[in-house]
Amino acid sequence: MTLRCLVDGLLLPAALAEGTPSLVAFDGDEAFGVEAVEALLYELVSATPEEVIGLEAASYRLLRRAADFRCISA
């Protein structure tokens, strides 16, 4: 999946992971956890249907789909 930072427009690859926080984003070689409330600062640009369901199940309801969101196949 791909996230876009609403502060600077940076596109970040991301993945769901075990543990807390469940959403991990990658900025180059650096990985960082995205807390559910921090999701307000990002929007979902692309994801599989399974990833969208996983985000909702992990309480990332504040993470909105971008206007240019596209659903990708696994």
- Quick: pLDDT tens for 6-34: 999 999 999 999 888 899 999 999 999 99
User: Tokens 């309801």 label which residue?
Assistant: 61
The pTM of the full predicted model, rounded to 2 decimals, is 0.92
Q: Where are the domains of the chain?
A: 2-71
Quote the pLDDT of residue 19: 80
If you average pLDDT over every residue of the chain, what do you get?
94
pLDDT-above-90 percentage for the chain: 88
Find the radius of gyration of the CA atoms of the chain: 11
Give the Cα separation of 46 and 71 in Å (integer). 6
